[in-house]
Amino acid sequence: MRMKELSLRQDPDLRKELALLARGCDFVLPSRFKKRLRAFQQGQAQLKKEEAVSPALSESIPKFYFPRGRPKANINIDNLISKIEKIFSQFPSERVTIEDMGKVAKACECPLYWKAPLFFASGGDRRGYVSVHKFVAMWRKVLQNCHDDASKFLHLLAKPGCPYLEQEDFIPFLQDVVDSHASLAFLKEASDFHSRYITTVIQRIFYNVNRSWTGKITCSELRRSSFLQNVALLEEEDDVNQLTEYFSYEHFYVIYCKFWELDTDHDLYIDQRDMARHNDQAISHRMIERIFSGTVTRDRKVHKEGRLSYADFVWFLISEEDKKSETSIEYWFRCMDVDGDGVLSMYELQYFYQEQCQKLEAMAIEPLPFEDCLCQMLDLVRPESPGKITLRDLKRCKLAHIFFDTFFNIEKYLDHEQRDPFMVAKDAESLGQEISDWERYAAEEYDILVAEEAANEQYNDGYDNPLVPIDCISAEFDLCGEKRHLFEFANPHCNLDLDEYKYADSFE
């Protein structure tokens, strides 16, 4: 049918006649044309009918791309809105402050800790409250346009019209967690610690969620991650320390203490010399240079000014203590790929191995010749194309941690060397089934720090102690109790101004 139609339409004689007809020329058409014209008109009518009945081809393929989530059938927005209006009506002038926003979040059928994003997205920060009208207008738009949690959460947190989340977008949400989660109540008076904790959690969010390394979390990255499940768990879990992926205060404490030890002048930056002291000179100088080269850091000043911010240290420490995660493998791969061509060449491996040999010799240990080490490593990684190790090879081999430590961490290299290869293989098999290396490290270090503090408390009776993150803190915790609250801020001098730590600096 359509083929015939096309040929009719392309007929020059017929086109001419139709044009004449359109101009109102009234003359007798030769009968052969009349016949063809009728056929054409019938065809047109048929085509119109078809167009009206069957959708265009693009519409007949079911929609499969839903950047804002798949719309749910039978969602009654008016019903949902009236529930919310009912909640607002319980408050004077139908205005709700951040303290009562939890009730609104629940009426919206959202996890409790969506309360701050809901509050701020409807302009609550400017007035100190949200009116029913503003809120309903905002939420109705969200319900109409965003069809799953990831899309809704992103819309609430992002700057207007922005399709991704940047680091600073998380601050109001996390400040509310600090202000209102029961297990962080002990931080109430330690406002200088709020920003450090928040910085840490933001870095962990980007470390785990922003798999593209762009500094911009997209809706699909958020959807693929476990972050929103963890946000929902904040409501059920009384202790943030149980949420080890993002929110654990103990994990923050370990990272911050490790940084504090290196940052001797406490300006929240460390240089290469400070970094060299980490873990008793375990990391090679050549690797430290690479960490400071700007290839794995977000702060653009790292390379120029030769200093690493606390935020960038979070990435370093987690990568250093858990070399099995995808982000960590990417982190160290970027560092080792000195020329940035996407493969680790023999030259690059040798460059890092040379320093390891020097270190071993200084320890009176005879190092393995590079060729032998190379054979071992190629055996371990089994690269797809010989002589070139790619990121894919390292992720696939499940032993990337041993590979990396061989080239830049002398202490861990020696540890691996002393281990039974059979056990190493078994480790690789059980990867992902037990707690992560990072979780194990953080738990052990936390216990050590707590014990150190307890000892200091006993001997110094709370006087200045260079090992304690903030000199003026007198630690108070209950070693027998389940929850150990390290900070009890007795000294008013430690209430530093929150502004003293500029977010803009570390989020650039």
User: Nearer to Ca ion by C-beta: 114 or 292?
Assistant: 292
Binding-residue total with Ca ion (CB under 5 A) = 7
The answer to whether residue 337 forms part of the interface with Ca ion (CB under 5 A) is: yes
In the complex with Ca ion, the residue whose CB is nearer, 151 or 309, is 309
Beta carbon nearer to Ca ion, 166 or 263: 263
505 is a site residue for Ca ion (CB under 5 A): no
Q: Which is nearer to Ca ion, 168 or 339 (CB)?
A: 339
CA distances in angstroms from 32 to 37, 38, 488, listed in the order given: 9, 10, 101
Closest by Cα among 198, 155, 149 to 174: 198
Q: 383: helix, coil or strand?
A: coil
Contact region with Ca ion (CB under 5 A), list: 33-41, 215-223, 259-267, 449-457: 259-267
Closest to 404 (Cα-Cα) out of 419, 418, 389 = 389
Applying the rule CB under 5 A, the residues between 125 and 164 that interact with Ca ion are none
For residue 497, give the 3-state DSSP assignment: coil
Contact call for residue 305 and Ca ion (CB under 5 A): no
In terms of CB distance, is 243 or 329 closer to Ca ion? 329
Shortest gap between Cβ of 292 and Ca ion (angstroms)? 14
CB of 202 to Ca ion, least distance (A): 21
* Of 332, 326, 321, 319, residue with least CA distance to 389: 332
Q: For Ca ion, which is the closer residue by CB, 184 or 308?
A: 308
Pairing of strands 164-165, 217-218: antiparallel
- Name the residue nearer to Ca ion (CB basis): 176 or 337: 337
Kindly tell me which residue out of 26, 59, 78, 267 binds Ca ion, with binding defined by CB under 5 A. 267
Site for Ca ion in 343-402 (CB under 5 A): none
Q: Does 265 bind Ca ion (CB under 5 A)?
A: yes
CB of 260 to Ca ion, least distance (A): 10
DSSP 23-86: TT---PPPHHHHHHHHHHHHHHHHHHHHHHHSPPHHHHSPP---TT-PPPTT--HHHHHHHHHH
Distance CA 488, CA 475 (A): 6
Q: Which one of the spans 242-250, 251-259, 336-344, 395-403 is the region binding Ca ion (CB under 5 A)?
A: 336-344
Residue 334 burial (10 A CB sphere; 0-12, 13-18, 19+): middle
User: By C-beta, is 153 or 403 nearer to Ca ion?
Assistant: 403
Q: Which of the 8 DSSP states describes residue 283?
A: B
- Strands, DSSP E only, in 128-202? 130-131, 164-165
Residue 59 binds to Ca ion (criterion: CB under 5 A) = no
Listed in sequence order, the residues at least 6 apart from 218 whose beta carbon sits closer than 8 Å to its beta carbon are 163, 164, 212
Please tell me the distance from the alpha carbon of residue 183 to that of residue 194, in angstroms, as a whole number.
Answer: 14
**Does the protein bind Ca ion through residue 312 (CB under 5 A)?**
no
Applying the rule CB under 5 A, the residues between 215 and 234 that interact with Ca ion are none
| Cβ closest to Ca ion, residue 214 vs residue 264 | 264
Residue 334 C-beta: closest distance to Ca ion, Å: 10
Q: How far is the CB of 343 from Ca ion (least distance, A)?
A: 5
Provide the 3-class DSSP secondary structure of residue 90.
coil
Q: With contacts defined by CB under 5 A, name the span among 123-131, 332-340, 437-445, 496-504 that binds Ca ion.
A: 332-340
Contacts of 187 (CB under 8 A, 6+ apart): 178, 193, 194, 197, 487
Cβ nearer to Ca ion, comparing 341 with 417: 341
Quick one: 218 or 506, whose CB is closer to Ca ion?
506
- Would you count residue 445 as binding Ca ion (CB under 5 A)? no
Q: How far is the CB of 342 from Ca ion (least distance, A)?
A: 7
State yes or no: residue 341 binds Ca ion (CB under 5 A): yes
Q: Does 339 bind Ca ion (CB under 5 A)?
A: yes
Q: Pick the piece of the chain touching Ca ion (CB under 5 A) from 178-186, 335-343, 422-430, 443-451.
A: 335-343
**Minimum CB separation from Ca ion for residue 200, in Å?**
17
166 to each of 63, 92, 268, how far by Cα in Å? 29, 36, 22
Question: How many whole angstroms separate alpha carbon 275 and alpha carbon 306?
Answer: 11
**Do the Cβ atoms of 199 and 314 come closer than 8 Å?**
yes
User: At which residue do the structure tokens 């490290």 appear?
Assistant: 441
Of 49-57, 177-185, 257-265, 392-400, the segment contacting Ca ion by CB under 5 A is 257-265
Answer for which of 139, 186, 197, 269 binds Ca ion (CB under 5 A) is 269
Residue 263 is a binding residue for Ca ion (CB under 5 A): yes
Beta strand 307-309 with 269-271 is antiparallel
* Closer by beta carbon to Ca ion, 153 or else 269: 269
Distance of alpha carbon 69 from the chain centroid: 19
- Nearest distance from residue 278's CB to Ca ion, in Å? 13
- At residue 130, what are phi and psi to the nearest 5 degrees? -120, 130
* Residue 78 interacting with Ca ion (CB under 5 A): no
Minimum gap (Å) between residue 307 Cβ and Ca ion: 7
Using an 8 Å Cβ cutoff, are 122 and 134 in contact?
yes
Select from 98, 484, 408 the least CA-distant residue to 253. Answer: 484
Chain residues binding Ca ion by CB under 5 A are 263, 265, 267, 269, 337, 339, 341
